[in-house]
C-alpha cells in the first residue's frame, strides 16, 4: 500500500486528528494512538455505543493501534521518545504550548529524529493573537466569515450539520500537509513542522465568495448568493408527499430541460433574472412541484438532463445504487460484534487502493506489543 512502512504516532482525540490519521491508516500507515491511561480518546464515550466504545470512535479509528502512556510521567515520556526515534509522523491537537511544557514539542523531537514530520492541528494555528483561545467548529467558521453566509435571506445564520472546520479545514489539509512533507523528506532527508489552523482552512474554502469581495469590496448578503439561495434554478422544493427534491439547473441547457418538464417554458429566459423575479419563480415552481410525489417527479426527470435529485435520508442513502457501486458503506468484520457497517474510503486509487484492514483498538490494546518492539518494556 502507498504508506506501508510509514509509522504515525497520533496523540489527537475526537475528530480532526483521528480523521486525518484514519486517511493515512486506510492507505497502509501504521497508526499508533497514544492515549491517556484510563480515559483515552474522549470519542470512546459518545453515544450510541456498539460495545464499550462509540460508533463514532469505531468509524474514525479503524486500522489503528492503541498505546496508553501518561506523558506527564517521566518513564512514559521516555517510552514516547523511544517511539519517536522510529516514527515518521507525529500528530497532535493540543493548544499551542502544551507539547512544549511536556518537553515534547517539535524542536525537541527533531533533535531525536531529524526526519520526523510533526503535524499540529489547532483552531487558530501556532501563532497570532487567537493561538491560545479555545474553540469549536462553529467558532472557526464564524471567524472565517463562512457562517455569516449560511442560511436564508433575512434569517439567522444556520449551523451546518457536518463539521466543516474540523474535517475540511483541519483533517484534510493536515493529511495533505503530512503527505507533502513526506514527499519533501524524500528529496531533502529532513522532516518539518506542519502547522494546521482550522480557521485558515475554512477561509481557503471560500473561492466562490471571498475573491469577489477582495476585488470589489462589495460584501455578499446571506441568502442572495448564486449557490446559496438566490436563484430559482438552484433550490430545494417540497413534493406532494412532503419529501424534498433539489434542483441544480445552473446552466441554460439544464434549466431549459427543467422548465419544459414542469410546463414553464416561459421561465427559460429568466435564468439570470433579478432577485424579485427569482422569488416569484420559486413560488410558482413550488406550487407545481407540490402537485406530484417525489417518485413521480423522479420518474419525469429520469428522462431529462436537468440536475434534479431527491433529498435522501440516511436510510435511503445507504441503499442508493450509486453509493453501493462506489462501496461508500462497507460491511466490516469485527471480532466481537460480527459484521458492522462503516463509511467507506472516498479516495479511489487504481493500483494501490485503501483498505479497512483492522477494527478500532481497545484502550491500550497494543501497549505491551509496541513497547516491546521498541525495546522499552513497561
Q: How far is CA 141 from CA 146, 157, 164, 195, in A?
A: 5, 11, 8, 18
> How many residues are given for the chain?
378
Distance between CA atoms of residues 29 and 357, nearest Å: 11
Where on the phi/psi map is residue 21: left (φ > 0), alpha (ψ -120 to 50), or beta? alpha
Residue 136 is among the residues annotated as catalytic for this protein: yes
332: which 3 cell numbers?
Answer: 466490516
* 165 neighbors 242 (Cβ within 8 angstroms): no
124: which 3 cell numbers?
Answer: 487558530
Q: What does the CA dihedral 174, 177, 183, 187 come to, rounded to 10 degrees?
A: -140
Distance between CA atoms of residues 244 and 223, nearest Å: 19
Q: Name all contacts of 159-163 with Cβ < 8 Å and 24+ positions apart.
A: 163/15, 163/137
* Options 10, 76, 166, 200, the catalytic residue: 166
* 60 neighbors 18 (Cβ within 8 angstroms): yes
Say if strands 234-238 and 244-248 run parallel, antiparallel, or are unpaired: antiparallel
- Residue indicated by cell numbers 479545514: 169
Distance between CA atoms of residues 114 and 60, nearest Å: 29
Buried b (16+ CB within 10 A) or exposed e, 179-191: bebbeebeeeeeb
* Options 136, 272, 295, 305, the catalytic residue: 136
Distance between CA atoms of residues 287 and 228, nearest Å: 21
Residue 334 is among the residues annotated as catalytic for this protein: no
Instruction: Report the chain's terminal Cα–Cα distance, integer Å.
Output: 31
The residues annotated with a catalytic role in the active site are 136, 166
Amino acid at each position: 500500500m502507498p504508506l506501508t512502512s510509514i509509522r504515525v504516532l497520533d496523540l489527537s482525540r475526537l475528530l480532526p486528528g483521528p480523521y486525518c490519521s484514519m486517511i493515512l491508516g486506510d492507505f497502509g500507515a501504521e497508526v499508533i494512538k497514544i492515549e491517556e491511561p484510563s480515559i483515552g480518546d474522549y470519542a470512546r464515550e459518545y453515544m450510541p455505543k456498539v460495545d464499550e466504545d462509540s460508533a463514532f470512535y469505531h468509524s474514525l479509528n479503524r486500522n489503528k493501534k492503541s498505546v496508553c502512556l501518561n506523558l506527564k510521567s517521566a518513564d512514559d515520556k521516555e517510552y514516547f521518545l523511544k517511539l519517536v526515534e522510529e516514527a515518521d509522523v507525529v500528530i497532535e491537537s493540543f493548544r499551542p504550548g502544551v507539547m512544549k511544557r511536556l518537553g515534547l514539542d517539535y524542536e525537541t523531537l527533531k533533535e531525536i529524529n531529524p526526519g520526523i514530520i510533526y503535524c499540529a492541528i489547532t483552531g487558530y494555528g501556532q501563532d497570532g493573537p487567537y493561538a491560545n483561545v479555545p474553540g469549536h467548529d462553529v467558532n472557526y467558521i464564524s471567524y472565517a466569515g463562512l457562517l455569516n453566509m449560511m442560511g436564508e435571506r433575512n434569517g439567522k445564520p444556520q449551523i451546518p450539520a457536518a463539521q466543516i472546520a474540523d474535517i475540511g479545514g483541519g483533517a484534510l489539509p493536515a493529511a495533505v500537509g503530512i503527505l507533502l512533507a513526506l514527499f519533501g523528506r524524500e528529496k531533502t532527508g529532513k522532516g518539518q513542522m506542519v502547522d494546521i489552523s482550522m480557521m485558515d482552512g475554512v477561509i481557503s474554502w471560500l473561492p466562490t465568495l471571498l475573491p469577489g469581495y477582495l476585488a470589489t469590496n462589495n460584501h455578499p448578503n446571506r441568502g442572495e448568493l448564486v449557490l446559496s439561495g438566490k436563484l430559482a434554478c438552484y433550490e430545494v422544493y417540497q413534493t406532494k408527499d412532503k419529501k424534498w427534491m433539489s434542483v441544480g439547473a445552473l446552466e441554460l441547457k439544464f434549466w431549459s430541460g427543467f422548465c419544459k418538464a414542469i410546463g414553464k417554458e416561459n421561465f427559460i429566459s429568466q435564468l439570470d433574472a433579478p432577485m424579485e423575479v427569482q422569488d416569484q419563480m420559486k413560488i410558482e415552481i413550488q406550487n407545481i412541484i407540490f402537485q406530484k410525489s417525489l417518485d413521480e417527479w423522479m420518474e419525469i426527470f429520469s428522462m431529462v438532463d436537468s440536475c434534479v435529485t431527491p433529498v435522501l435520508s440516511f436510510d435511503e442513502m445507504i441503499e442508493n445504487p450509486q453509493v453501493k457501486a462506489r462501496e461508500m458503506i462497507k460491511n466490516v468484520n469485527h471480532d466481537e460484534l460480527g459484521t458492522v457497517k462503516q463509511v467507506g474510503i472516498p479516495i479511489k486509487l487504481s493500483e494501490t487502493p485503501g483498505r479497512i484492514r483492522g477494527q478500532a483498538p481497545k484502550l491500550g490494546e497494543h501497549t505491551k506489543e509496541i513497547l516491546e518492539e521498541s525495546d522499552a518494556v513497561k
